[in-house]
Amino acid sequence: MTNNQPEQPDMPEQPEQPATPPPPVEPPAVPVSEPAKKRLGPVAAGLVGLATGAALVGSIWAITANSGPDGPATFTLEGSFALTEDASADGEDDCEGAYDSGYDDISEGASVTVYGAAGDVIATGHLGDSELAGNACLFEIAVADVPKGEKFYKVEVSHRGTVQVSAKEAENGDLFASLG
């Protein structure tokens, strides 16, 4: 046996290791995202949908209501009404049916109803200013917004029955009715 060891190949020298190892490489920064938004529950989604739908329908209604053709043509039915019996003075220049005469419902403000040819109520108003003329009490009548286009009109003061006038008479302000 010999003490000779075979010669070993030269190994490259290893660089010296630092005393502290280098810090680990940090992974690239990930952008911070916003937290996920909460989804509406079915009831809340339904209420939001209902409110949105109602607003849309209301908007469409408002737009269409203010556009398009105007309503039907109307006129103011004008004329006069005379109470020829049991009229009495009321105040300075006004008059009315005398108390306990059976005509005490006839006074300024009494109802005036206008009916169309089919018998349906198409306008309402009231007796206007009055004036005592001898033994009669004369009242002004002016009922606004009476629709045009009827063949004739019937006019009733208080509950005293109707007086029929032609469409031409009504539109021209030629209404005259009396009671008593």
Task: Tell if the pTM clears 0.95, that is, is over it.
Answer: no
Residues comprising the chain, all counted: 180
Tokens read off for 53: 């739908």
151 occurs within a structural domain: yes
pLDDT tens digits, residue range 113-159? 999 999 999 999 998 888 888 888 888 988 999 999 999 999 998 88
172 occurs within a structural domain: yes
CATH of the domain at 127: 2.60.40
74 Cβ neighbours under 8 A, 6+ residues apart: 144, 145, 146, 147, 148
* The predicted structure's pLDDT at residue 153: 93
> Concatenated DSSP letters for 55-114?
HHHHHHHHHHHTSSS----EEEEEEEEEE-SSEEEETTTEEEEPTTTT-TT-STT-EEEE
Domains in the chain: how many in total?
Answer: 1
31 occurs within a structural domain: no
152 occurs within a structural domain: yes
Assign 57 a pLDDT band (cuts: 50, 70, 90). Answer: confident
* The predicted structure's pLDDT at residue 135: 80
